[in-house]
Structure 1
Amino acid sequence: MASDPHKPVLLLAGALCLALVAAGAAGQDANDQAKEKAKDQAKEKAKDQAKEKAKPASPIYGVTVPDGLRDWRLIAPALEDAPLNELRAVLGNDLAVAAYRDGTRPFPDGTVLVKLAWERMRSPDFESATVPGRATTVQVMVKDSRRYPESGGWGFGRFVDGQPVDAGQHETCFACHEARVSDRDFVFTRYAR
């Protein structure tokens, strides 16, 4: 039996064809997977946008309470005397924290500050301590210079029980910040180190 001198070449060519077909199929699978991932991401983005539109928004500014804010970092606590008599905690998103830490002013667009407030009450367990009682408000500031040029680049929202308060109360937000802290980019809260 004489060996066919073309057999190794034919085997190699056959193997190469199979490899190319497999690579083409793998490439097609990767392409299909990428398309599927892009579709999934578009669906998620559309869901998020619909959810954001469905959330209660402040009059005048259209600001909403951010999702996940209870996982944000503390900027500073505060006590408010009578007549409000509140304990407060100001939280910030990552941009806010970085701006405070680095001393960046004005705050960059995308900065979000949230003030959580509760009635102050004496601790039932330790009489000299004050603890949070009933939640009173959630107040939100969003920095977006293009969207809010008339209010120093800030949008405001004040919420009670998850619902925005009336437009009249929102009309006072910027005037108060402008009168008292215009030199600090209209932000009252100082970073507690």
Structure 2
Amino acid sequence: MNVDLKELWNNADEALLSPDFDRLESQSEGVLRSISKVLKIEFWINLLFSPLVIVWLAISEMWWLALLQLVFSAGYFFYYKMLINKTSGFDYSQNVLQGLKATYRYLHVFLLHYKILMWLIFPVIGSIAFMRGVHVGYTQAGGVDFWFNYKIWLVILGALLVAALVSWLINWLVNLLYGHKIKRLKQQIKDFENNSGDL
């Protein structure tokens, strides 16, 4: 099998120096910088408020919740630090396309985790806690037949509507902060691969 190594090397250089590659580098650099900026802001806001929440839980003698918040915060900060390093310190001197694909996969998984966590904290746990409070208040006030009271079902319906609205707002906010930028990065990688296939 005759392979012209010099020709392969020249073709590789041409691909690396192609306008498509330059465009991918400049566009992806802008997207990664934008994502990194949002991650850093969120990181520092949480770094400021998490200790306050932990101290408040400890003062309120909710030790298990304080410990849970501490473990969650430690994992959160480690995760965010890793993502910040991947987005702000991306190495364009290495295999850029594979590196961007790997970074995209990290960000895609992060986005999925982020949405699930936000949905669990606010609409799901919030609705459960609210209905638990309604049930306790109703029974303590001497109410009977909780599930057969039509007013309770109106409250449940209202809680579900609020949960749906909060879920929509969370989805909108997360997409505004991260989702659209991550999709843009995916599209840039896809465009580069399609254009490279045409060379």
- What TM-score bracket applies, with the shorter chain setting the length? under 0.3
Quick check: which one's strand share is greater? Answer: 1
Structure with the bigger RCO (C-alpha within 8 Å, sep 6+) is 2
Q: Which protein has the larger Cα radius of gyration, Structure 1 or Structure 2?
A: 1
Quick check: which one's helix share is greater? Answer: 2
